[in-house]
Structure 1
Amino acid sequence: MPRNMKYIAVHCTATSQKTSISAIQSYWQKQLGWKMPGYHFIIKPDGEIVQLLPIEQVSNGVQGFNSETINISYIGGVDENNIPIDNRTPAQKASLLKKLKELKIKFPLAKIQGHRDFPKVKKACPSFDALKEYKDL
């Protein structure tokens, strides 16, 4: 059954760019107790886009908004001291832009915004201003 997508949320994993997808998934399952992944798509530093969940299913990206949101993340978003930083590689920037354009074609009314742009969210994620960067999509 198709979902009514109101948002396309951009995230960072808030990990080192060297963190593996399997380590991120293990954290979600073992530490957070999630049955579903946090994102539909995750982008590796080399720009490879990995789909973790079909968009017809609900992921755990933004509490209170998941049923109406597609969640996409890049690996990274913090420095070696866990301080938020936009450390997307050129390949990640290109892949993220490409995927967002594809999703906007499928869901033209969905608003692209960062995780931090949702109400009551107190994090820097995705460590850059997604509203400003993607306002013309």
Structure 2
Amino acid sequence: MRKIDYLVVHCTATPQSATVEAIKNYWKNVMKWKNPGYHFMIKPDGEAVSLLPITEVSNGVAGFNSRIINISYIGGVEKSLKPVDNRTPEQKDTMRRLLKDLKEMFPNAKIQGHRDFPGVHKDCPSFNAKAEYADL
């Protein structure tokens, strides 16, 4: 198993109507990534979709990917693409449950948002993940 130092929370920075398949196609065809950006993506209805086994490296945070597990919710922007925390109650519940399970597997891993890494100039995940999940 990989050494996991961080459990990283993301938003897709898309409308909540975006589909998992459309996002995966963007990574493959536009970004030319071999692996997805996240290990898990949470749909507005709360369904967590596993995109990649946690034993493999995803493309969530450049320079840190070998040491992280990436979890994202679909959304994070309003119609004008301005960052906004628009998580549904179902997404919040699923994210908390998933992070709790992963924290049990990796008790020393820090939970934080994409924006909390050095050199990142994004608002992702459009809320303060460190504060929200400090109790886990």
TM-score class normalised by the smaller sequence = over 0.9
Partner of 2:109: 110
Partner of 1:34: 33
The gaps in structure 2 that reach 5 residues or longer are none
Partner of 1:4: 3
Deviation per CA, 1:34-64, whole angstroms, max 9, x where unpaired?
Answer: 0000000000000000000000000000000
2:26 equivalent to 1:16: no
TM-score normalised by structure 2 residue count: 1.00
Q: Which amino acid aligns with 1:69?
A: I
TM-score normalised by structure 1 residue count: 0.99
The gaps in structure 1 that reach 5 residues or longer are none
Partner of 1:90: 89
- How many pairs align? 136
CA–CA distance in 1 between the matches of 2:75 and 2:87? 7
Deviation per CA, 1:100-132, whole angstroms, max 9, x where unpaired?
Answer: 000000000000000000010000000000000
Identity of aligned residues (%): 62
CA–CA distance in 1 between the matches of 2:12 and 2:18? 9
RMSD of aligned C-alpha atoms?
Answer: 0.3
CA–CA distance in 1 between the matches of 2:92 and 2:44? 9
